[in-house]
Amino acid sequence: MSEGKAVLVTGAAGGIGRATCERLAANGWQVLAADYDAGKLAWAEGKANISAIAVDVSSEADNARMAAEAQARFGGLDAAALNAGIGGGGSIDDLPFAEFQRILGVNLVGPVLGVRAALPLLRKRGNGAIAITSSTMGVAGDSENWAYSMTKHALIGLVRSLAREIGWEGIRINALCPGPTKTAIAGMEGMDGVVEDNLPPHYHVLKRQVPLQRWADPDEMASVIEFLISPAASYVNGHALVADGGAVTGSGLMAPKASAAPTYPADLKEQA
Ligand SMILES: NC(=O)c1ccc[n+]([C@@H]2O[C@H](COP(=O)([O-])OP(=O)(O)OC[C@H]3O[C@@H](n4cnc5c(N)ncnc54)[C@H](O)[C@@H]3O)[C@@H](O)[C@H]2O)c1
């Protein structure tokens, strides 16, 4: 338990962010849950240990407002989970420039501004920790996902560099690199309880790339974020922790070993 410790979580209306808020609040953290989507933050209303704030993480003014709220509520911060992110596929020829800038704004500028806003509050408490959500696409590239992938690679550069810059202050910074996780960003919102054969084809395609042969539940990412900001990870700094069921372990030339009877729909069996 982490009674009385204060944490900021961004992207808190989404799958991984919400699971992180719920897990941390249940374990005694005081949580400031931040997201762009004020309506989707309604889940936090009346929840013990959780307060919500609507912010655009790509805005410097909103990050200042978020920090002021954490200061007013908690008098500082013990941890920040900078987790907000958006997807964005498109070829190098076709991705609209405005969309490219939006991806940079949320996925890259957002965490930089978040660190800048959180640091003075972490310094007040001492021994703070930051966890930034990158991706398996932060350690490997993917066709028509270059914009998303480059932002997620850059976050690992940010984490490694800042670990060397602020470590002396007792503040740790690490990245989580999730694999396919059942959330809206992955097209899986509202898919809980849907029978396997009715899930979208990409669910089955990606599942086959994961040695564990399944997608992650959001709480399996929340537990890694909790670890990274907890004293259990007190000597972990500047690390990119890949939690992907083993997906990026391979050369990419051969599929991982699967059961003899893969559970994906008939149309995908033809492509296999
Ligand atoms: N789900 C996956 O398979 C997967 C895999 C790798 C990495 N990730 C990363 O995990 C993180 C969380 O994503 P998720 O899977 O929970 O997706 P999600 O779409 O469910 O949640 C993302 C949240 O970020 C919020 N957000 C978007 N733009 C924002 C902005 N400008 N300001 C504030 N909040 C904003 C959204 O409103 C949403 O609630 C993201 O950084 C994502 O890139 C997810």
Q: In the predicted model, is pLDDT for residue 129 greater than 90?
A: yes
**Measured in angstroms, how far is the CA atom of residue 267 from the centroid of ligand 1?**
30
Q: What per-residue confidence (pLDDT) applies to 196?
A: 87
In this structure, the strands spanning 79-82 and 30-35 are unpaired
> What pLDDT does residue 252 have?
85
Mean pLDDT of 191-196: 88
Average pLDDT, the chain: 94
Domain presence at residue 119 = yes
Pocket probe mutation, ligand 1, options 56, 183, 207, max atoms within 8 Å of Cβ: 183
Q: What is the mean pLDDT of residues 2-27?
A: 95
Higher pLDDT, 253 or 34: 34
pLDDT band at 211 (very low <50, low <70, confident <90, very high): very high
7 pLDDT above the threshold of 60: yes
- pLDDT at residue 105 above 70? yes
Question: What backbone phi and psi angles, to 5 degrees, belong to 194?
Answer: -75, 135
Q: Which amino acid belongs to residue 217? A: D
* pLDDT of 132: 99
> pLDDT tens digits for 183-193?
999 999 988 88
Residue 232 is assigned to a structural domain of this protein: yes
* Alpha helix segments (H runs only) across 180-231: 201-209, 218-229
pLDDT at 266: 53
Stronger pLDDT, 126 or 94, i.e. the higher one: 94
Whether pLDDT at 18 is above 70: yes
- Asked if residue 15 has its Cβ within 6 Å of ligand 1, the reply is yes
Q: Is 265 within the bounds of a domain?
A: no
CATH classification of the domain holding 130 = 3.40.50.720
Is residue 36 in contact with ligand 1, taking CB distance under 6 Å? yes
In angstroms, the CA 59 to CA 175 distance is 22
pLDDT band at 268 (very low <50, low <70, confident <90, very high): low
> pLDDT category, 272, cuts 50, 70, 90?
very low
User: What is the number of structural domains in the chain?
Assistant: 1
Tally helices (H) and strands (E) across the chain: 8, 7
Q: What is the pLDDT of residue 263?
A: 54
Dump strand ranges (E) for 113-267. Answer: 129-133, 172-178, 240-243
Q: What span, in angstroms and rounded, lies between the C-alpha atoms of 158 and 27? A: 29
* C-alpha 164 to ligand 1 mean position (Å): 27
Residues that are catalytic:
148
Domain that holds residue 146: 6-245
CA of 127 to the centre of ligand 1 (A): 27
Residue with tokens 């962010």: 17
Atom of ligand 1 nearest to the CA of 179: 5
Q: What is the reported pLDDT for 2?
A: 72
Which residues are CB-neighbours of 76 under 8 A, at least 6 positions away? 6, 70, 121, 122, 124, 125
Average the pLDDT over 93-112 and give the result: 98
Residues 36-51, mean pLDDT to the nearest whole number: 96
Three-state SS sequence of 68-104 = HHHHHHHCCCCEEEECCCCCCCCCCCCCCHHHHHHHH
Query: 135-148 in b/e burial notation, b at 16+ Cβ within 10 A?
Result: bbbbbbeeeebbbb
> Could you tell me if residue 263 is inside a domain?
no
Question: Does residue 219 form part of some domain?
Answer: yes
Residue 175's pLDDT is 99
Taking alpha carbons only, the member of 103, 109, 18, 21 closest to residue 57 is: 109
Residue 176 is predicted with a pLDDT of 98
For residue 224, pLDDT over 90 is answered with yes
Residue 178 lies in a domain: yes
Summarize the confidence of residues 213-229 as an average pLDDT: 97
| Cβ contact 32:66 at 8 Å | yes
Residue 146: inside a domain: yes
Does the beta carbon of 67 lie inside 6 Å of ligand 1? no
What is the predicted pLDDT for the residue at 120? Answer: 98
Residue at 30 is within a domain: yes
Alpha-carbon separation of residue 264 from 113, 129, 194, 243 (angstroms): 42, 41, 13, 23
